[in-house]
Structure 1
Amino acid sequence: MIKSKAPKASKLTEAKEAQVEPPTPTPSSQTTPKTDPTPPAAVVPAVPKSWAELVKTTPGKDTEGTRAAVIQPNGTSNGKAGSITQILNDFQVRPTGSFTIPFLEPRGLVNTGNMCFMNAVLQMLVFCSPFYYFLDCVGKEAAHSFKSETPLIDAMIMFMREFRVTPMTAKQQDLEALGEPFAPEYLYEVIRNTKSLAHMRRGHQQDAEEFLGFLLDGLHEEAVKMMMKSDGNGASSISGDSSMDDTDESGWMEVGHKQKTATTRTTEISESPITKIFGGKLRSVFQVPALKASVTLEPYTPLQLDIQAPEVRSVVDALKHLTKPEKIQGDFKSPKGPNVVAKKQVFIETLPPVLILHLKRFQYDNTGGTQKIWKKIGYPLELQIPSEAMSSTQRTGPSAKYRLIGVVYHHGKSASGGHYTVDVLRQDAKNWIRLDDTVIRRVRSEEVAVDVKDLGSHNTFDGEENDGWVNGWEEVTANGSGTTNKGEGARYIGKDSKVAYILFYQKL
């Protein structure tokens, strides 16, 4: 989320709790690559008590990278107290192609009880290169302890280290290899103990987008608290509160098109690596007849897209629809009288390196319950932001272009239940994989993106193409061969309304 003040209860319009989720899948049988003699990580790692326990491993030779079953100590040679503060303050998102991206060996996540909403989001974040780079920077250089003030960041670094790095020069069979499934219990434990995530209870299905928002909030808050310490005595180097919901507003006069003036206010939040990666700003313009326009700049993460309107058939349509004027009638102290019609319009002011698009699929119905909007929405592999969606001050120059790097799907026709899976683009920017808890399969890019031309005139979803949910997913084993997991396919016998729910795009 990372947004301005708003009651957190408003997020519950998208939240869902299910009574029953499909049975937890049994970890699939996989073989460890021959080139990696390092023993596989335990399926359910215990929470380590000290760095010494973390590094108590048997050394072994591995020319293609060691499986990082546990996180290694940070800064043992050149780390020093306060180094994390400097790293967090200095962090900048590097442009795509300006650094070597680690090629990760995929691993499934064991569903220990209605955890699919977490599993899908965590897998997506690991395969998001700028986010991985952030964790890697902190993990390599910062001096950590288990009494640190950043338990969530520490746990995410540990989770990232569970994925073995494979050299791009490795043999094809090694590049296609899969690691053993595991359950990051240490991360789940930290999440349970994090205030903003405490309501994400095990055994209860939750909303993946809400979990993503609260997770990024928690990481942001930890980072800002550390960034406020310029040295060991706790002196503040950043003004303002660390909480993303406690914001400051400042205002100034702005001269716009045709020399028209407007009062502009900005809702400020403390900057962090999380906002640098995922955060953008919206320009909200409120115009009352005979009065100066009021402009507010507000942060967003993710960008919420309304898809209900009949004319919205793609994310490009939804981005354009974002700017549709809203008419509001009332008494705004206008010289024109007590009852006038004002206009509110929203534009995109800034775009982040990683743009998260939330397709708003759940809404309240007349009875107070939630209803799923399950029409299909087209989204491309390469997205060009329409100029109409940008504010007038940002329309100069070429439109920003983004590459699709991940899609989180919601399965099921009910807003109160269902299942989550995710497609992610691997670090070579060529190959896609589909992750369904412990089940992993390769997919073509054509299976990921949805062309608006293929939606048809009625745009109703019948689930026919999702044979995997009827006949069983094809699972890719470590040697690259395909097997079918009938047990997994038995989850949703019948037609399954799988639709894209959260889209991740990385700026080119």
Structure 2
Amino acid sequence: MGAAGSKLEKALGEQFPEGERYFGLENFGNTCYCNSVLQALYFCVPFREQLLEYYLNNKTLTDSEETLLTCLADLFMQISSQKKKTGVIAPKRFVQKLKKQNEIFRSYMHQDAHEFLNYLLNELVDLLEKEARKAKNDTASLSPPENVANGPKNGHPDGAQKEPLVTWVHKNFQGLLTNETRCLQCETVTARDETFLDLSLDIEQNSSITSCLKNFSSTETLNAEDKFFCDKCCSLQEAQKRMKIKKPPQILVIHLKRFKYIEQLSRYKKLSYRVVFPLELKLSNTVEDADAEYSLFAVVVHVGSGPNHGHYVSLVKSHNHWLFFDDENVEMIDESAVQTFFGSAQEYSSNTDHGYILFYEGVDAGSGIPS
């Protein structure tokens, strides 16, 4: 990427951010799904900083202790510590580890970037939780046993569940949904909470993220064969059900469901619908923060007319500049270019570059800057 790299440096000139690095990632045969997501995660600054800190605390690990987490931390450290400002890096160890661990990603077939992101975040959570439990057990085994007449101080005599571990992946990406069901006979509301690391939204033609979120939280009536069993009435009753965001995450990841299974065709079809995603987003239906504000900082784009072939690229905002990452190539783009990835207003269009996964970071309401 010599010429492209120098072109990017020239374009940014004196505005090139201090200490920042813009590196393309080599493609190992259909690994664009991986490269595009990794670029989005690298420019998720709090996540990157915590991963680099993890690297510094664990750099003495041997190859036999290598995990997807250590490979990712190593890759991010490679990029951030480069002497050059631009260039290309081969994420070889990371891709090899990914393929070794998960057979889905072993083939050279077109993979799904959202499926990869989902797998990666959950795998990082599992590894961090295991390490936290091991550290806790090691500490406990080193402590002298407590000989207290009334039993151990830290016991749970009432059988209460221990608090779930909260990793830095959770702190960045985890939000809380609440599923409310109101019995129309006795008006009792049953609420069930569930966590999420990303939101998958159904899409419609010529819509927006705001309208997709409204549909996600719309009220559904349960009647006829779908009646709800109300514990208070002790019988099946008509009810109203809705899902809403109870606690918004620090980093809001939105997956647009562009691939839909068409029964008549017995296959998946790509929906090229035009869905407007704003640079600034307000969540108005949250319980704890009625006006959670977000700023768009990355978009993973699917290029192609169908789900089984195509290409992935990513758009990233870094220090108020928008950059376009296409495997080894990195170039600067104008902010107005982002809207060309909203989708197509007509069903058949030559434009096949559509926003697929959106990354928003929470904005501190007081300062107007990402928190």
Structure 2 length-normalised TM: 0.79
Provide the alpha-carbon RMSD of the alignment.
3.0
Deviation at 1:151, TM superposition (A): 1.4
- Could you tell me which of 156, 166, 188 is aligned with 2:95? 188
Instruction: Compute the displacement of 1:183 (Å).
Output: 2.1
Over 3 Å counting, the alpha-carbon distance change for 1:357 and 1:498 in structure 2 is same
Return the alpha-carbon distance in structure 2 between the equivalents of residues 229 and 149 of structure 1.
Answer: 14
2:181 touches 2:189 (CA, 8 Å); kept in 1? yes
Q: Verify the 8 A CA contact 1:109 1:119 in the aligned structure 2.
A: yes
Give CA deviations for 1:101-121 in whole Å, capped at 9, x if unaligned. Answer: 974321212222111101111
Match of 1:376 in 2: 274
Counterparts of 1:31 and 1:320, CA distance in 2? 42
Aligned positions of 1:15-54 closer than 5 A: 28-30=1-3
2:117 maps to 1:221: no
1:402 maps to which of 275, 280, 294: 294
**1:156 Cα deviation from its structure 2 partner:** 0.7
Q: Find 1:307's aligned residue among 194, 199, 203.
A: 203
Alignment equivalent of 1:353, drawn from 250, 256, 275: 250
Partner residue of 1:326 out of 220, 223, 227: 220
Partner of residue 122 from structure 1, selected from 38, 56, 59: 38
**Residue 30 of structure 1 contacts residue 178 of structure 1 at CA under 8 Å; is this kept in 2?**
no
Aligned partner of 1:344 in structure 2 is 241
Structure 2 match to 1:317: 211
Report the equivalent of 2:345: 459
In the other structure, the counterpart of 1:89 is none
What is the 5 A alignment of 1:130-279?
130-142=46-58, 144-146=60-62, 151-164=67-80, 177-179=85-87, 181-194=88-101, 197-231=102-136, 233=138, 235=140, 270-279=165-174
Deviation at 1:122, TM superposition (A): 1.0
Aligned residues: 328
Answer yes or no: is the 8 Å Cα contact 2:341–2:353 preserved in 1.
no
> Percent sequence identity over matched residues?
27
More strand by share: 2
Distance in 2 of aligned mates of 1:288 and 1:306: 26
1:293 aligns with 189
Question: d(CA) in 1 for partners of 2:56 and 2:89?
Answer: 23
Query: Which residue does the alignment assign to 1:110?
Result: 26
In the alignment, what sits opposite 1:497? 352
Residues 233-262 of structure 1, C-alpha deviations (whole Å, 9 max, x = no match) = 3749xxxxxxxxxxxxxxxxxxxxxxxxxx
Task: Say whether 1:284 aligns with 2:179.
Answer: yes
Deviation at 1:378, TM superposition (A): 0.8
1:417 is aligned to 309
Structure 2 gaps of 5+ residues are: 7-16, 142-160, 364-371
Q: CA deviation at 1:212?
A: 0.3
TM-score, L = length of structure 1:
0.59
The answer (yes or no) to whether the contact 1:462–1:497 under 8 Å persists in 2 is no
Q: Tell me the distance in 1 between the aligned counterparts of 2:56 and 2:35.
A: 25
Matched letter for residue 245 of structure 2: I
Distance in structure 1 (CA, Å) of the matches to 2:4 and 2:355: 32
Q: Decide whether the 8 Å contact of 1:404 with 1:504 is kept in 2.
A: yes
Q: Aligned in 2, Cα 1:349/1:186: closer, same or farther, shift over 3 Å?
A: same
CA–CA distance in 2 between the matches of 1:365 and 1:284?
Answer: 28
TM-aligned CA deviation for residue 295 of structure 1: 0.6
Report the more deviating stretch, 277-286 or 317-326.
317-326
Contact 2:286–2:292 (CA under 8 A) maintained in structure 1? no
The answer (yes or no) to whether the contact 1:229–1:235 under 8 Å persists in 2 is no
Are the equivalent residues in 1 in contact too, given 2:100–2:106 (CA < 8 A)?
no
1:437-477, CA deviations, whole angstroms, 9 ceiling, x for partnerless residues?
Answer: 1122110111114699xx8xx922665xxxxxxxxxxxxxx
> Are 2:222 and 2:228, in contact at CA under 8 Å, matched by a contact in 1?
no
